[in-house]
Chains A and B, each alone.
Chain A
């Protein structure tokens, strides 16, 4: 862990840090429509990897393949390799265990039809933790980290699906944290959250990257700038650019479209 923390302190030396996820030649099609193709990238341990790009660039489709959520839609076909800790995700033998290790936060929050408490205790319970005291600690820790604890601590027994949109989103973040995932994928998490709370969650994410790898898909270019160590720019199903966030935002790019997008000339 010590070496990893050092890596974060010096993004330049990130080359040396180990690779968490390696994507080779990834292509996704829906029926005969190609969503993304020829994606090659790697995500390193304990970095925040930003993905920006306009609508329809294939960002969400990309995320779906990483924890095999593509299994849910039968018309979605995937080609290429996604290596996660030396195993091709497409060949894993226990997809449930894979998903257990990868946390996801969807753009529109899905509070499960359970109480707030049970929403956060869901994964710990799946893992066999049944002692109330132990669960209490996990629930409080996760809700505090997702900046929701103060608002809900007096009504943990009410339904999670009855919270406001922004609160539900923080609930889903708390739920993802309860997985203690190695890889956390956030898909436009701030879409339903007010700016102040967004900033609080962003602070939490900066802390979290010491413990996990984070992939952050965002429509807010400035959010990527604030958080990401490296950023990829997706456009029309292609990965146009990958680089350190600093390079991307200071114009050191290979493709001029990247700067055009970042500076708001299209998209």
Chain B
């Protein structure tokens, strides 16, 4: 019996002979290894490139005091160019801050609804819609800021300009909300159902159970989601460029126009001479932005990983 079934299975491979399957296996291992480390190579490569381009400025014209503390960003001034990013940082921070005020309640609310209340088809459709929302290109959001939000803000608040922190903050908040919703919903879903059932069996209402048990248990994942949103806000360029008004300004209210770090690079890099101090100063901003978003994303990632382990 055994003998006949072996014969029908075809030629048995020789244990001392490497065959095609063996070589294919090795080849695939190398290929996926290359793809795997390409992420590391790319990120290190980009960091080195940005640093090298900004290096000349860092060693010659760079003054720590001026760069971080001066509100004057006047790189094209013929007599005395100044490279202060304080106003740009204020622009990025104010827009991101307002965006988070918009996005956190929005995304937390929809994550709670999708994870805890919605069932069946409603849940599936909502999840798909939110992923679609995340896929809208940022230039489209910028366009909405420019053509819809701008006149709306002028009308409602009776201000001369509608391209300001309020406009960009709302736009950016809506842009960041989908990814924050997805991450937060994952975090809520990661809390085992037995906790919900146990807490409900004790007589807690749905909201009491969510508020007292589920949210505390998911808090790391929720925080990770918020941080990813902040990272998104810092790095976003196009929508912010279009909706902030792009005016260098330390804002006094949400109706002031500002300019973001990212938008400055995008708007000016094409018009500078390669290797000039202005060009290098823009790259120094790049290093700064890169470091901040790297730290934020890394922190978010470590926090989210932390909950997966426990």
Contacts A112-B198, A113-B195 given; does A96 touch B213 at CB 8 Å? no
B window 194-211: CB within 8 A of A: 194-205, 208
Q: How far is the CA of A96 from the CA of B209 in the complex (A)?
A: 11
**A126, A172, A176, A179: most-surrounded residue (chain B CB, <10 A):** A126
B204 touches A114 (CB 8 A): no
Name the one of A74, A113, A123 contacting B202, with C-beta atoms under 8 angstroms: A123
Interfacial residues of chain A within 194-209, with CB under 8 A of chain B in the complex = none
Of A98-106, A134-142, A238-246, A257-265, the one with at least 4 CB within 8 A of chain B: A98-106
Contact between A99 and B216, CB atoms less than 8 A apart: no
B195: chain A residues at CB < 8 Å are 110, 112-113
> Judging by beta carbons under 8 Å apart, are B203 and A113 in contact?
no
Which A17-72 residues have C-beta < 8 A from chain B?
67, 69, 72
Residue picked from B194, B198, B201, most chain A C-beta under 10 Å: B201
**Once the chains bind, are B217 and A113 in contact (CB under 8 Å)?**
yes
A122 to B195, CA, bound (A): 13
Among B194, B208, B216, B217, point to the contact of A126 (Cβ < 8 A): B208
Tell me the bound Cα distance from A104 to B193 in angstroms.
16
Q: Does B212 contact A (CB under 8 A)?
A: yes
* Contact (Cβ within 8 A) B203 A106: no
Whether A96 pairs with B194 at a CB distance below 8 angstroms is: no
**C-alpha spacing A43/B194, complex, angstroms:** 28
Nearest-neighbour CB distance to chain A for B199, whole angstroms, equals: 6
Chain B nearest CB, measured from A191 CB (Å): 15
A97 nearest CB neighbor, chain B only: B203
A230 on the B face (CB < 8 A): no
Q: How large is the interface on B (under 10, 10 to 19, 20 to 34, 35 or more residues)?
A: 20 to 34
A69 in contact with B197 (CB, 8 Å): yes
Q: Are B203 and A112 in contact (CB under 8 A)?
A: no
**Chain A residue contacts of B119, Cβ below 8 A:** 74
Asked whether A172 and B203 contact (CB < 8 A) given A113-B216, A113-B217, the answer is: no
User: Out of B191, B201, B212, B217, which one reaches A99, CB within 8 Å?
Assistant: B201
A110 touches B203 (CB 8 A): no
Question: A222 CB to closest chain B CB, in angstroms?
Answer: 28
User: A98 vs B198: C-alpha distance in the bound complex, in angstroms?
Assistant: 14
The interface residues of chain A lying within 8 Å CB-to-CB of B198 are 106, 110, 112, 172
Q: How far is the CA of A222 from the CA of B139 in the complex (A)?
A: 73
Taking a contact as CB atoms under 8 Å apart, the answer to whether B203 and A99 are in contact is yes
Question: CA separation between A122 and B213, bound complex, in Å?
Answer: 9
In the complex, what residue of chain A is closest to B198 when comparing beta carbons?
A110
**Minimum distance in angstroms from A69 CB to a CB of chain B:** 6
| Shortest Cβ gap from B281 to chain A (Å) | 50
Smallest distance from the beta carbon of A227 to chain B beta carbons, Å? 22
Q: Is A145 an interface residue (CB 8 A)?
A: no
B213 with A126: CB separation less than 8 A? no
Chain B nearest CB: distance from A60 CB in Å?
13
Q: A100, B203: Cβ atoms under 8 Å?
A: yes
Q: Mark B147-167, 1 if CB is under 8 A from A, else 0.
A: 000000000000000000000
Which B residue sits closest to A69, measured CB to CB?
Answer: B201
**Is A170 interfacial (CB 8 A cutoff)?**
no
Contact residue among A67, A114, A125 (Cβ-Cβ distance under 8 Å from B216)? A114
What is the bound-complex CA distance between A88 and B191, given in angstroms?
33
Are B213 and A113 touching (Cβ within 8 A)? yes
**How far apart are B125's CB and chain A's nearest CB, in angstroms?**
18
> Can you list 11 contacts pairing A with B, beta carbon distance less than 8 Å?
A69-B197, A96-B205, A99-B201, A100-B203, A113-B191, A113-B195, A113-B213, A113-B216, A114-B213, A176-B202, A179-B203
Nearest 5 A/B pairs, CB to CB: A100-B203, A110-B198, A99-B203, A113-B217, A96-B205
| Chain B residues close to A by CB (< 8 Å) | 119, 191, 193-205, 208, 212-213, 216-217
Given contacts A99-B203, A123-B202, 16 further A-B contacts (CB under 8 A): A69-B201, A96-B200, A99-B202, A104-B201, A106-B198, A112-B198, A112-B213, A113-B191, A114-B212, A122-B199, A126-B203, A126-B204, A126-B212, A175-B202, A176-B202, A179-B202
